[in-house]
């Protein structure tokens, strides 16, 4: 966990030094307070023997109160400073983890899973936050208090010191035994938290399908299984840790009994005085309390260490897709070229597609069609570098995409995914997601996407709120807002990943006509299942089992490519195709 402290700022380190100083002062005032107990008892005895005055008692009592107030003030100040430092560190870690996840490619996100990344950003950092507050307050206080008290104890009586040492050894052995028992379970609990979040998230995102198939009982069984495993693990750790409290009380009460027993014997022998026994009892309590504080740290630290390891795992994950040190200048505009490109997913045995080559010139429309699983979407995702090609080169504007910064590359591209994604905010905010358009350009983009009509019918028009995930608009409306968002980004290249599937034929045709008429110089790459969507494309590439089996216009492919002809005839009649 201490590896995470490199994220502390200079101000934080200054506060840590202040906490250490204040903590040492707190221990000092506490030790002086204990000495005053002995002094006030001596003053009372002196008054009872006629050797002192009441003023002596008030003076010693006033000093005792002053030391108590100073100790309390030190405790309050160190607590506030520790909370401030821990909160700043947690905020920094959340920002770094979020930024790191933002830079992940799809491969890294799939490696961790969405549910796990959410848990690491929230639950794990909260565990670290709680542990840090305790560490900053107790890591110095407990050892200093224990050592200081032991030194004072040792100076008082060897017999009483031996009794205290035995109690401390028993405590340490019991704490280590319990911690070694529960540490593996803490690691398991974090993994089970990931699974619990994963099952819950899957159920909520797929709630319509669950209800449509009356699968509530099935989903509840899945949740109960994960929840049961989590509960069993939590109960085990809770029961083991619950043993600590009675064990600590047993040791503490045993030590108290031993001190009074040994102290009474020594008093009878005339070797020590009553105030020495009382002072020793207080010191021994401070030693045990110091170890109780260490115990609290040991309860939280193992789980926090597991959480810290998970955070470090995210922060230290190397990026499979990174920006080049030096960006190569572009030599063309609006072009996309694949040169003998092959791709396979990490750890996959077979390639998704192999040896794909084509070139899209500025203003051209190049379409991709093929059976499900032929690699169309994967191929088109290589252009914005969601993945990197396994072999060959993908070029945008005449430059290999690996030699362009991702921000530069993405500024050239308008991307409309297969599954439309909208964000919480207004319609205008969603269309202007790239932040490049003014109000007039937002409306123009919506008109090109045939979205202006239904947006104006909404209660507040372009200022109407979109719910999380776009749940308050239909699939076709989400698709058109997504297309408008890509248009508003003013890209050189538009990528449509089966983006017209949620539109009816009339709207599909009208949107494509608008794009051709108003964005004639924009290069379009279209993945589609419908022949009607791509019939007018300048070039159509037919994929089958990861191979390019045909390339040409619609008319050419009907004559030369059996796979394309088969797909076309499955959707349209021979008369409609002109055969």
Q: 135-150 pLDDT, tens per residue?
A: 888 877 877 877 777 7
* Half-sphere exposure for 492 (CA within 13 Å, toward CB): 18
Q: Do 441 and 309 fall within a single domain? A: no
Q: Do 421 and 301 fall within a single domain? A: no
Please give the full DSSP string across 283-342, using - where no structure is assigned.
HHHHHHHHHHHHHHHHHHHHHHHHHHHHHHHHHTPPPSS---SSPPPPSSSS-EEEEEEE
Q: Do 305 and 420 fall within a single domain? A: no
Task: Please say which residue of 442, 469, 490 terminates a domain.
Answer: 490
**pLDDT, position 495:** 93
Among residues 576, 541, 573, 574, which one has the least CA distance to residue 556? 541
Residue 493 in contact with residue 412, Cβ under 8 Å? yes
**pLDDT, position 569:** 87
Specify if 558 maps to a domain.
Answer: no
**Cα–Cα distance, 308 to 132 (Å, whole number):** 11
Q: Do 130 and 251 fall within a single domain? A: yes
Task: For residue 465, give the CATH number of its domain.
Answer: 3.40.50.300
Rg (CA), the chain: 36
Specify if 124 maps to a domain.
Answer: yes
Residue 370 in contact with residue 376, Cβ under 8 Å? yes
The two three-digit tokens of residue 438, written as one number? 């003014």
The two three-digit tokens of residue 295, written as one number? 């115990």
**Cα–Cα distance, 174 to 268 (Å, whole number):** 35
Please give the full DSSP string across 494-512, using - where no structure is assigned.
EEEESTTTTS-HHHHHHHH
**Cα–Cα distance, 228 to 243 (Å, whole number):** 23
Specify if 373 maps to a domain.
Answer: no
**pLDDT, position 214:** 83
The two three-digit tokens of residue 241, written as one number? 């840790």
pTM: 0.72
Among residues 87, 81, 86, which one has the least CA distance to residue 19? 81
Task: Please say which residue of 300, 315, 330 terminates a domain.
Answer: 315
Helix (H, G, I), strand (E, B) or coil at 539: strand
Q: Which residue has the tokens 């040190």?
A: 325
Give the number of other CB atoms < 10 A from CB of residue 169: 10
**Cα–Cα distance, 401 to 395 (Å, whole number):** 6
Residue 89 in contact with residue 125, Cβ under 8 Å? no
Task: Please say which residue of 315, 348, 382 terminates a domain.
Answer: 315
Q: Do 153 and 263 fall within a single domain? A: yes
Provide the residue range defining the domain that includes 81.
2-315
Please give the full DSSP string across 383-450, using - where no structure is assigned.
TTTSS--SEEEEEETTEEGGGS-HHHHHHTEEEE-SS----SEEHHHHHTTTS---HHHHHHHHHHTT
| Helix 244-268 × helix 216-242 angle, to 10° | 10
Q: Do 296 and 423 fall within a single domain? A: no
Specify if 566 maps to a domain.
Answer: no
The two three-digit tokens of residue 139, written as one number? 């890591």
**Cα–Cα distance, 511 to 448 (Å, whole number):** 6
Specify if 121 maps to a domain.
Answer: yes
Specify if 497 maps to a domain.
Answer: no
Specify if 287 maps to a domain.
Answer: yes
Q: Which residues does the chain have with pLDDT short of 70?
A: 45, 49, 52, 153-157, 275, 295-296, 298-300, 578-579
Among residues 356, 365, 358, 362, which one has the least CA distance to residue 330? 362
**Cα–Cα distance, 515 to 13 (Å, whole number):** 57
**pLDDT, position 36:** 74
The two three-digit tokens of residue 41, written as one number? 């008892």
Task: For residue 121, give the CATH number of its domain.
Answer: 1.20.1560.10
Domain tally, the chain: 2
What residues contact 245, with CB distance under 8 A and at least 6 apart? Answer: none
Handedness of CA 373, 377, 381, 386 (dihedral sign): negative
**pLDDT, position 164:** 76
Among residues 492, 444, 567, which one has the least CA distance to residue 333? 492
Specify if 175 maps to a domain.
Answer: yes
Residue 7 in contact with residue 93, Cβ under 8 Å? yes
Q: Do 27 and 162 fall within a single domain? A: yes
**Cα–Cα distance, 106 to 328 (Å, whole number):** 24
Q: Which residue has the tokens 């050894």?
A: 169
């Amino acid at each position: 966990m201490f590896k995470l402290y490199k994220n502390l700022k200079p101000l934080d380190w200054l506060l840590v030094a202040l906490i250490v100083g204040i903590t040492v002062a707190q221990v000092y005032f506490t030790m002086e307070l204990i000495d005053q107990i002995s002094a006030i008892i001596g003053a009372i005895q002196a008054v009872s023997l006629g050797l002192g005055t009441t003023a002596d008692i008030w003076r010693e009592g006033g000093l005792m109160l002053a030391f108590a107030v100073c100790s309390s003030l030190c405790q309050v100040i160190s607590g506030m400073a520790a909370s401030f430092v821990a909160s700043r560190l947690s905020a920094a870690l959340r920002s770094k983890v979020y930024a790191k996840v933002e830079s992940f490619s799809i491969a890294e996100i799939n490696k961790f899973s969405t549910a796990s990344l959410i848990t690491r950003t929230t639950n794990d950092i909260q565990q670290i936050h709680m542990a840090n507050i305790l560490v900053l307050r107790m890591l110095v206080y407990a050892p200093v208090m224990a050592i200081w008290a032991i030194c004072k104890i040792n100076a008082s009586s060897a017999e009483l010191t031996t009794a205290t040492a035995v109690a401390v050894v028993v405590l340490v052995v019991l704490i280590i035994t319990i911690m070694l028992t529960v540490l593996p379970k803490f690691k398991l609990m974090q993994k089970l938290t990931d699974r619990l979040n994963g099952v819950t998230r899957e159920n909520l995102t797929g709630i319509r399908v669950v209800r449509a198939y009356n699968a509530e009982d099935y989903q509840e069984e899945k949740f109960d299984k994960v929840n049961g495993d989590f509960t069993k693990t939590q109960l085990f750790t809770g029961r083991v840790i619950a043993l600590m409290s009675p064990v600590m009380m047993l040791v503490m009460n045993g030590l108290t009994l031993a001190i009074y027993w040994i102290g009474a014997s020594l008093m009878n022998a005339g070797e020590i005085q009553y105030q020495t026994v009382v002072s020793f009892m207080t010191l021994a309590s401070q030693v045990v309390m110091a170890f109780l504080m260490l115990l609290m740290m040991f309860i939280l630290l193992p789980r926090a260490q597991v959480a810290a390891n998970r955070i470090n795992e995210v922060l230290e994950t190397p990026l499979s897709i990174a920006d080049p040190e030096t960006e190569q200048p572009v030599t063309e505009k609006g072009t996309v070229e694949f040169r003998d490109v092959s791709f396979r997913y990490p750890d996959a045995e077979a390639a998704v597609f192999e040896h794909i080559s084509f070139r899209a010139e500025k203003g051209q429309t190049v379409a991709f069609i093929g059976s499900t699983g032929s690699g169309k979407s994967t191929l088109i995702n290589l252009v914005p570098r969601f993945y990197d090609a396994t072999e060959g080169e993908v070029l945008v504007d005449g430059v290999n995409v690996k030699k362009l910064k991702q921000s530069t590359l993405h500024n050239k591209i308008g991307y409309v995914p297969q599954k439309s994604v909208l964000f919480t905010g207004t319609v205008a905010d969603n269309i202007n997601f790239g932040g490049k358009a003014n109000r007039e350009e937002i409306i123009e983009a919506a008109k090109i996407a045939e979205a202006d009509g239904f947006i104006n019918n909404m209660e507040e028009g372009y200022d109407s709120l979109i719910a999380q995930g776009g749940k308050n608009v239909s699939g076709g409306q989400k698709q058109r807002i997504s297309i408008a968002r890509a248009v508003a980004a003013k890209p050189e290249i538009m990528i449509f990943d089966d983006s017209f599937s949620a539109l009816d034929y009339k709207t599909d045709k009208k949107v494509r006509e608008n794009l051709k008429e108003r964005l004639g110089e924009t290069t379009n790459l279209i993945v589609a299942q419908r022949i009607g969507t791509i019939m007018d494309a300048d070039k159509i590439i037919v994929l089958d089992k990861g191979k390019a089996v045909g390339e040409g216009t619609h008319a050419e492919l009907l004559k030369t490519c059996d796979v394309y002809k088969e797909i076309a005839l499955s959707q349209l009649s021979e008369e409609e195709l002109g055969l």
